[in-house]
Structure 1
Amino acid sequence: MDITHCPECSTAFKVSPEQLALASGWVRCGRCGAVFEAQHHFSAPMPSQPPPAPAPEPEPEPEPLQDGWDHEASWITSLDEPKPAGQAAIAQTSPPPQPTRSQITWLIACGVMLLLFAWQVIVSQRHLLAAEEPSLKPWLEVLCAPLACEVEWPQEPHSIQIENTSFNEDPEGGYALQIRLRNTQHHPVATPYLELSLIDLQDQVVVRRVFSVQEMGLPESLAALRDARATIHFDLDAKVSDHVSGFHALIFYP
């Protein structure tokens, strides 16, 4: 039987070859709990001593070398420590915690709120989405049904420019206004209305008139990056036409 010493607290232990074989030479100190390899801390063998000379009086009982000679080594059982060959460690895993009812309710509420937020964003942008992807229009109409809203062409007056206009007397009688509009966006937009103001020499409005999309003969939408031309014929009273010297054209959405 060999003697090994704990490297932490220097406690000595008796270990047998059978005990060392159980954990491949690894032991745990029974005093401080330190784990160490017993073979690296064996005590040096004691040299043989000659028998003591007889004495008239009996010698007292010898003291133990160190406190701990009577302690048995405690062997490693943790899964993280070395194991004897041929023995597999069985991991003890605890089941994952199950969500509580309040957590499930909170998750469901968050999901519903996210869906409502996404629905509001889609409905608010329905005109633009339908213009950029016409195939989405049936689905957008379904989403609009609870609010009784409609999916129409987006109204973007800043995206439409008046390229040129002309106002002249029509040879067949009355007056003719020619106008060319251009859509500068990469998606279709709603065709705007036209407000025509006829002015006199003092730049005062003599007469003002609004022309709808149908009166201008234009489609309900202007194609992306395309022009649209319209010619409008109308009559003026002779008393009014005598004062007309110019005009202003303005596009808008009613």
Structure 2
Amino acid sequence: MYTQCPECLSVFSVDARTLAQAHGFVMCGHCGAGFDCISTLADQLPPEPFDELPSHEPGVEPPKVELVVYRPQPALPEAVAEEDAPQPLRDDFADLIITPRFARDVRADRPRRWPWVLACLFLLLGLAAQLAWALRDTLIADPATGPVLSEVCAALACRLPPVRDIDKLRLLARDVQSHPTVPGALLISANLRNDASFTQPWPIVVIRLSDGNGKVIAMRRLNPYEYLDDMDALRRGIAPGASAALVFEVEDPGHQAVAFDLGFE
């Protein structure tokens, strides 16, 4: 909709909200004059050029509105019988008893967590057992945990697996000579000591015979059961700080062998 200021003849576009704010009285945004915009209100602008919008004649009969959008319902008279009055809707939850949250037994609503706790404990124990088995050599050889594990194993009537540390085996003395009773054989003797703080199994002994140029011309690997006749000593192993004398009989490779070496595996 459009309206025109009667002072400066400026034409403005207005809407229903602007008209309703002051019942059609507005201020011109160009000259500041106040005027009744309803007097020149028009839906469409006339063809240009034009000077003034047509003014509405005063005293025009107000239009009649016909389209009803909403009409309030009249109140029911008191004479209406109770049976004719609309019945209230039935509340299906009227008889429902609701217990306050603080009055309920919280333990009944709490989920049972002890099965999960037990499962987690079993898993942790299994993981600890796997780690202990993987690090068994380190734990048995450790001075702090080794005696404790030995006591526990003795109480449970079990045996700890032997721990091998070749670096803690010391060769105190060694000697080689021709065998006094077997022709073409050598008799090698050695003194061995266990410097570890734990019992070690008997090692595999490696004997190498070499010539004058250092070239190995013969080698023999002897397992513990090949140079030990005492089965009880073989099962017990070498105790911490214990020494043992070992004797080996090997074939004589001839006069080319001028040196020998003895090692452990």
TM-score normalised to structure 1 length: 0.49
The answer to which structure has the higher strand fraction is 1
Bigger Cα Rg: 2
